[in-house]
Amino acid sequence: MPQVSAALGRMPLPPTSVRVLIGFGLLLLVSLLVLHRRPARLMVEGSRLDPAERFLSLFEGANATIAADLRALTAGPHLAGTPAAAGAAAHVLTRLRALGLRTLTREYAPLLSYPGHASLALLRADQTLIAQLSLDEPADAGRHLVRPYHAYAPSGGAVAEAVFVNLGREEDYLALDRLGVSVRGCIVVAIRGGGYRGGVVQRAAGRGAVAVLIAGHADGGVERGTVILGGPGILSLPAGRPRARRKRLGFDHETVMRRFPTIPSMPVSAMTASAILRSLGGPPLPAEWRIGVELAENFRGVGPGPIQEDCHDTGYFAIVKGYEEPDRYVILGNHRDAWTYGAVDPNSGTSALLDIARRLGIMLQSAGHLGGPSFFVAGMGEEFGMVKDPDVAGKTVHDTWNTMNGGINCAEFPVYHTALDSYNWMEMHGDPLFLRHVAIAEIWGLLALRLADDPVLPFDYQTYASQLQEHTNALSTMMKNSESVNLMNRCVDDLSGAAIEVLKEAKGVDTSDGYALMRRRLLNDRLLLAERSFLQPDGLQGRVWFKHLLYSPPEDYESKLAFFPGVADAISRSTNRSAKERRAAVRHEIWKISRAIQKAASVLRGEFSYRNESLNFSVSVAP
């Protein structure tokens, strides 16, 4: 046997064995190279793990930590700009730092509005007192909160008759017109539910009213809120260029003053509104008006009736640095301030955001970095300026997504902006096990990871073009197939063609050669910049805070046009103009939108040049 072994030891290895040894050597070499290279994906216990799977695996205890954060954030009221709001900000900052995330803070100086003295009384015709009415919130028995008020409502006093206007919509005023009831010189009383409260006040002012009371519902809550006109934004600092290069507008600047209502307003409880409405005479309620039982008791008419109103009325950030493109950010944000305790609005979102930060922090600690761009987690004030149960009979959130609220999976909740929006309400009624919070955090976090990790941004401009075609068809019907709409149709077709081309390009760009990263980056640049083509740098006409030509709220709250805000504004502003002037104003806005759509198509193809911008658009219709 020893001789045989020696003989075998001197025999040459068969070709198969040689191939195995060579293969093993190459495998060892590749392994060593991989070990010395920074991984582009997460490494957990020596094996690759998809970031989405890793993110979802960190669900254990998520509902408990979310509940704890929500309890801390809602321990007391924290209206923006108050010391209590600073305490809530400190909690968020402490949590982010404890997760090992790099944090920073930045102070802002927006124009905020706080209530002063306010009173409300019923008077007889000879000005003698009938009753002093309460402006407190029944649900806030301990009076821990700021008294209900409308932010940015002007101070002032009014002694006038009251008129009930139902929800305060245009159709409600038309119903009063048919009854021969005018609100000019009167204080109007409306029930909450007629759209944005600022629009309710603006319509009343347009009808000649001198003040507005907006009644809450019978749950004991009184809804606070802003009545600023023209949408969100820092009142004294229109969006646009970087802050350092923007001129801050003064309080009395015309652009700022236009955003304040011209008459005072305040929210009142259902109990206070009932006391007012019981004093009204005049014609009976229109048959089409439906009001709550608490307001209908002893209701005699729409008015007028006697009433006197006297109304005197820091951001945090955390950064999770990426590996492949750390100079780019996926921004997650949620406001932190609340009118009251804010368990639902906004801190259900803030607590979910903190859970996302917790999971990203764990992933960062275990991997040393995250792939793709950096994450930028942000939160600040919003109030000045409900998610359906995902466990529905075996359906996913996505199954019901498009069937609710225009594709936004949310629902109204009755305690909105009242003292009832507390941790106790959430624990008892809103989400007792905090599983909805966990579901939201996971959907939100997975979306962020998708944006960060996909080699090519998942932006589908074909869907965008299809939606624009629907909008253009609706506009064409309204404009009776005018030539300007035909121009827009051609531009939408051009965008659709560019979208198909860029999708084909995206399928072939994810290659492993040395230039793949650069090609992906250039493609992502075009996908990002194409969306920016729809922004008007100087804002919509007369509204510098709004810049998106396709989707911004219209100036007229009664507008039925939910897209192309410039067109909607041109229509509402030209009601008193001649037909020729009206067509010219609308045609000019259509021209601007068409130019933006064709610009987006050029950007997608990589053909657009700002130097030759005027040559990129074939002007078929004079602007």
Residues pairing with 157 in the sheet: 310
* Alpha carbon distance 60, 37 (integer Å): 32
14: which residues sit within 8 A by CB, 6+ positions away? none
Q: Which amino acid is at 14?
A: P
d(CA 235, CA 215): 27
First to last CA, the chain: 101
Residues 6+ apart with CB under 8 A from 209: 163, 183, 184, 185, 186, 187, 188, 263
- Is residue 453 within 8 A of residue 371, CB to CB? The reply is yes
Q: What CA–CA distance (Å, rounded) separates 196 from 194?
A: 7
Q: What are phi and psi of 378, to 5 degrees?
A: -135, 155
For 5, 250, 263, 384, 542, the CA distances from 111, given in Å and listed in that order, are: 93, 10, 19, 9, 20
Tokens of 131: 């009753």
**For 444-449, which contacts have Cβ atoms below 8 Å and span 24 or more sequence positions?**
444/332, 444/352, 444/353, 444/356, 445/55, 445/356, 445/359, 445/360, 446/52, 446/55, 446/56, 448/330, 448/332, 448/356, 448/375, 449/51, 449/52, 449/55
Q: 164 exposed, middle or buried (CB, 10 Å; 0-12, 13-18, 19+)?
A: buried
Q: Which of 170, 294, 325, 382 is catalytic?
A: 382
- Gyration radius of the chain over CA positions: 30
The DSSP secondary-structure symbol of 540 reads: B
Do residues 146 and 341 lie in contact, with contact meaning Cβ atoms separated by under 8 Å? no
Angle at 226 between CA 221 and CA 231, to 5 degrees: 140
At 370, the amino acid letter reads L
Q: How far apart are CA 450 and CA 452, in angstroms?
A: 5
H or E element at residue 75: none
Contact between 375 and 449 under an 8 Å Cβ cutoff? The reply is: no
Task: State how far the Cα of 502 lies from the Cα of 604, in Å rounded to an integer.
Answer: 7
User: Could you tell me if 301 and 283 are in contact, meaning their C-beta atoms sit under 8 angstroms apart?
Assistant: yes
Q: Is 382 a catalytic residue?
A: yes
> What span, in angstroms and rounded, lies between the C-alpha atoms of 432 and 424?
9
Question: Coil, strand or helix: which one is 42?
Answer: coil
Whether the CB-CB separation of 93 and 105 falls below 8 Å is answered with yes
Q: Looking at the annotation, which residues are catalytic? A: 382
